[in-house]
Structure 1
Amino acid sequence: MSFSEGGEDGRGDLRKPFLHTGSWYRMGSRQSSLMGSSQAIRDSSISVLACVLIVALGPIQFGFTCGYSSPTQSAISKDLKLTVSQFSLFGSLSNVGAMVGAIASGQIAEYIGRKGSLMIAAIPNIIGWLAISFARDSSFLYMGRLLEGFGVGIISYTVPVYIAEIAPQNLRGGLGSVNQLSVTIGILLSYLLALFVNWRVLAVLGALPCLILIPGLFFIPESPRWLAKMGMTDDFEASLQVLRGFDTDITLEVNEIKRSVASTSRRTAIRFADLKLRRYWLPLMIGIGLLMLQQLAGTNGVIFYSTTIFESAGISSSNAATVGVGVIQVIATAISTWLVDKTGRRILLIVSSCGMSISLLVVAVAFFLKGLVGEDSSLYGILGILSVVGVVCMIVSFSLGMGPIPWLIMSEILPVKIKGLAGSVATLLNWFCSWVITMTAPLLLTWSSGGTFTMYTVMCVVTVAFVAIWVPETKGKTLEEIQQSFR
């Protein structure tokens, strides 16, 4: 069995950018003297940053989808007369849709380009939000949630890959972390806006990121590495020139990318048996392992149970506490965005995993001890506060490393030849693990809160060992250098 890769078998012309790069880029690169008055356009960092800010609307949509169900549960259940199980199904369907989107994400991104893939993702997202907003029964809710999830599944793969492929090596870590930062901003926005508008208006507002993303895609270049792989030399060089600045000499980077593409184009297909080769199975294992452990460490389970923990600690306004958690996530992820190109990916992952292990252990011990003391005891209240502190520290630790960096490393280490197949598999397994954790958390927490957090602690310890043994440092290396290191 084999997996065909485009541009390698003489049929590359069948794959064209869904949103073409546009001749204005080539005109701009040849006639940069006409634009001499605008130094900002020539600044490579500003050019790449503009592209990242536009595609970051996708992860904001991602986060808004994740956060929407939490503050709207009581209102939707009351208006549409849903049972707890029906609303739980509504919440979990986004994961199901995301798994379907993940399966298709790699192939869509390979066949029609990164920008075209984001366009494909934006349309069902908009339709899904409108279906939820105008829902009169559960069927429209379910359909809308599935459509949202499908779009999110594509976005979660495509955005980090696009950012990694356009960013210069010295900025790739920080710009790549913008993906997770945007997710946390989307979650926070859904929490904040839910304090002021009803669930139907909130659903309409949820469509805005993708409504802005669609026209924005027409003003940014396609990934130069994808264009090079497809054999579109003129578009490839024009795209890279506008990303690096019209006055920048891109000769060395052009030659490096061409050599990398040539070295991966010697065969017409990738066979599943070829994945046994070290240069394929090792990055594939690292990418899949990190994305699975990101979810198996139980972050979604902890956030799912945060309201109950806050209530047990005597916090009267769970909504305000939830917003506070969202703010903490954004701040911690922003710090990670600043640190990742200074300290490196590997050390942040280890620090993050160790912090999560300690924090979850604190929560587990607090719950075990609460079962041994009476509710009227002063120690009971102290243990409740201790559990809240543990949850907050866990979220901070997660946001510093295990939140943003697995997606960044996945986009960096997967070889070009297997990126579509491997990226789809990694994204699919991430969403599957997310669904498993989300669905099992209520049952496990009913069984034993302390036991559940102990299990999550064990998975964090496994993550520390996995990172220490297998995960390489990719800071300061080009994508081509990273791929060469696995050969």
Structure 2
Amino acid sequence: MDIQTERRRLLDEEGGDEDPTGLLSEQEAYLSKVKNRKLYLASFAAVLGPMSFGFVLGYSSPAIPELSRISDPRLRLSEVEGSWFGSIVTIGAAVGGLLGGWMVQRIGRKLTLMSCTLPFVFGFTIIIAAQNVWMLYVGRVLTGLASGITSLVVPLYISETAHEKVRGMLGSCVQLMVVLGIMGVYLAGLFVDWRWLAICCSLPPSLLMVAMCFMPETPRFLLSKGKRREAEEALRFLRGPDAPIEWECSRIEDGCDEQGSTFHLSDLKDPGVFKPLLISILLMVFQQMTGINAIMFYAEDIFVQAHFKESELASVIVALIQVIFTGIAAVIMDRAGRKVLLVISGVAMMISTTAFGVYFYLTPKVPSGAPAPHADLTWLALASMAVFIAGFAIGWGPIPWLIMSEVIPIRVRGFAGAAVVLSNWGMAFVVTKTFQDMMNLLTSAGTFWLFACMCGLNIIFTVIFVPETKGKTLEQIEAIFRGTSGP
């Protein structure tokens, strides 16, 4: 059954006349024949990458305290070495973002994703076999490199394989698997030592390598390389045997032909390129300026003040809040829309960082052992942290990555994706590096009020500049920025 026949059947069932918005009717007719089972399978295989990424991010939290107390002097981390062990991942990730941008254009999304499993596994293997601190550093840089590649390629892979009805949900699963990986490594850290924990962390990327062997390349990448037959086979796998995939394949092919297949620096003058690129970069900058790293930095101290004796358990609680609300975001993403969730998220974080500033203003530092004034305000810090983490998880955590994968045109996804990922990791490094200086200059209260102002700017930026991509095909989104009606 072709797409026009199916379209007519749906119109007859609804008792309606010919829909003047012909494309929408064709989309509905097409999607009514689509089966999502193998699409979900391909997405699950891909998001094993973000889970591995989450294991990398979370590994330092349980490992650093143990490595700081280890009896072997060759492996014992000082305070400075522990700081480097935790933060050197961002350097590897920044390089990984640049490398990933080159790889996705040259060898494709699938092979790039499979290739990033190697530095994941090799990095954790070096940590497992470490005989000195420098081997630990090398292992962390390699796993950071893999994380940077993963943070670029997985959102692209999912956005290019998913259709518009489920793209938001599946794209949000990227961040969901990151926080699941963080929570998983926190939980495992309660029961195993740092070497066994590294062994556990090497399992998801190993499984990713095997699973991706059976998954297709994205149809859009294949069509951009002129491989029509392979693209049809990939679509047939992803959409099921009953879907008239020739219609979607032609639509994607028309989009590829219209925008061209090669990228030149002069293309940055094109509003269809620089506008989505600028929006994506600013989303990443604003994401880091919300103060997420500062909140996580203070999390353990806040739990201690609240008389939580087990800081490891406190970390698990924080991660659990992230998992729950990121899961909620994934479920409602394709119904609520991206802009609405970004605004709700920004408001929640602005309120919570303002409350954090009030807490620190009313609770100045006191000498060790002295009674803390306003100790009854601990509830304010705990409530503020819970609201902030929930707000971040439901919007500004997953959505910048999702929008990046939706709005950047296919021909520039290597270059532009690398620039966006580099912006994210670079800004994360700047905020983390200057955080203590901001605390000294502005005080704790002033720093968190600054973050509250940035959250306010996030909201304004979202309302004015961020387009709503819910329910639109990638070709329609590109047409919005080009100022045309699109295919």
Structure 2 residue corresponding to 1:167, chosen from 162, 165, 170:
162
RMSD: 1.7
Structure 2 runs not aligned, ≥5 long: 1-32, 483-487
2:382 counterpart residue number: 388
Structure 1 residue 450, shift from structure 2 partner: 1.3
Match of 1:330 in 2: 323
3-state secondary structure, aligned to 2:244:
coil
Conserved 8 A contact 2:159-2:171: yes
Deviation at 1:315, TM superposition (A): 2.0
Q: Residues 208 and 442 from structure 1, CA distance in 2 versus in 1: closer, same or farther, beyond 3 angstroms?
A: farther
Partners of 1:357 and 1:458 within 8 A in 2: yes
- Give distance in 1, aligned partners of 2:171 and 2:106: 23
* Structure 1 segment 377-456 matched on structure 2, within 5 A: 380-445=374-439, 448-456=443-451
State how far apart, in whole Å, the 2-side matches of 1:228 and 1:485 are: 21
Post-superposition offset of 1:437: 2.1
1:148 is matched with which residue? 143
Q: Which amino acid aligns with 2:173?
A: V
Q: Could you say if the C-alpha distance between residues 206 and 442 of structure 1 is closer, same or farther in structure 2, counting changes exceeding 3 Å?
A: farther
Aligned pair partner of 1:339 in 324, 332, 337:
332
Query: Matched residue of 2:94: which SS?
Result: helix
Question: Partner residue of 2:38?
Answer: 47
- Could you say what secondary structure the match of 1:486 adopts? helix
TM-score computed with the length of structure 2 as normaliser: 0.88
Q: How far apart are the structure 2 equivalents of 1:198 and 1:270? A: 48
* Structure-2 separation of matches of 1:144 and 1:445: 31
Which residue identity lines up with residue 348 of structure 2 in the other structure?
G
- Judge which range, 405-414 or 432-441, deviates more: 432-441
Partner of 1:135: 130
Q: Work out the percentage of aligned pairs sharing the same amino acid.
A: 39
Aligned-partner residue type, residue 244 of structure 1: R
1-structure distance, mates of 2:337, 2:94: 30
Q: Deviation at 1:425?
A: 0.2
Residues 1:62 and 2:59 are matched in the alignment? no
Q: Is this contact kept in 2: 1:129–1:203, CA < 8 A?
A: yes
User: Do 2:100 and 2:112's aligned partners in 1 also have CA atoms closer than 8 Å?
Assistant: yes
- Partner amino acid for 1:210? P
Question: What do the CA deviations read for 1:433-480 (whole angstroms, capped 9, x no partner)?
Answer: 111222333444455221221221121111111111100000000000
Q: After TM superposition, what 4+ stretches of structure 1 lie above 6 angstroms from structure 2?
A: 372-379
Distance 2:454 2:198 in 1: 35
The equivalent residue for 2:233 is 238
2:67 corresponds in structure 1 to 76
Amino acid at match of 1:44: K
Matched letter for residue 259 of structure 2: T
Give the match for residue 13 of structure 1. none
Alignment correspondent of 2:305: 312
For 1:98 and 1:277, the matched residues in 2 are separated by 29
Q: Does 1:277 align with 2:233?
A: no
Contact in 2 for aligned 1:52/1:163 (Cα 8 Å): yes
Report SS of the residue matched to 1:169. Answer: coil
**Residue number among 112, 118, 126 corresponding to 1:123 in the alignment:** 118
> Which residue does 1:361 correspond to in 2?
354
Residue in 2 that maps onto 1:472:
467
Matched, 1:293 2:293: no
Amino acid at match of 1:221: P
Q: Which amino acid aligns with 2:326?
A: T
CA deviations 1:291-342 (Å, max 9, x no partner) are: 1211121102211221011112222222111101111100000000011101
Q: Does the 8 A contact of 2:76 with 2:133 survive in 1?
A: no
C-alpha distance in 1 between matches for 2:391 and 2:141: 31
**Structure 1 residue 273 displacement after superposition:** 3.2
> Offset of 1:378 from its aligned partner?
8.5
Shift of 1:110: 1.1
CA distance 1:43–1:472, change in 2 (3 Å): closer
Q: Deviations over 1:400-426 (max 9, x none)?
A: 000001000000000112111111000
1:234-268: CA deviation from partner (whole Å, max 9, x where unpaired) = 100110111000111123211110100111227xx
> Which runs of 5 or more residues in structure 1 are unaligned?
1-41
My pick for the range that moved more, 271-280 or 68-77, is: 271-280
Q: Distance in 2 between matches of 1:298 and 1:258?
A: 42
Distance apart, 1:59 and its partner CA: 0.2
Counterpart Cα distance in 1 of 2:440 and 2:389: 22
Partner AA of 2:61 in structure 1: S
TM-aligned CA deviation for residue 185 of structure 1: 0.2
State whether residues 346 and 458 of structure 2, in contact with CA within 8 Å, keep that contact through their aligned partners in structure 1: yes
Post-superposition Cα deviations, 1:106-150, rounded to whole Å, max 9, x if no partner, equal: 110111111110122110110101111121211100000000000
Check conservation: 1:129, 1:144, Cα contact below 8 A. Answer: yes
Letter in 2 for 1:409: I
CA distance in 2, matches of 1:411, 1:468: 20
Of the three residues 78, 85, 88, the one matched with 1:90 is 85
Amino acid at match of 1:246: P
CA contact (8 A) 2:124 2:201 kept: yes
CA contact (8 A) 2:109 2:217 kept: yes
Q: 1:107 and 2:107 equivalent?
A: no
Match of 2:180 in 1: 185
Asked whether the 8 Å contact 2:289–2:431 carries over to 1, the reply is yes
Equivalent in 141, 145, 152 of residue 157 of structure 1: 152
Distance in 2, matches of 1:423 and 1:217, equals: 21
Contact 2:155–2:174 (8 Å) recurs in 1? yes
Instruction: Tell me what 1:302 maps to.
Output: 295
Q: What is the match of residue 456 of structure 2?
A: 461
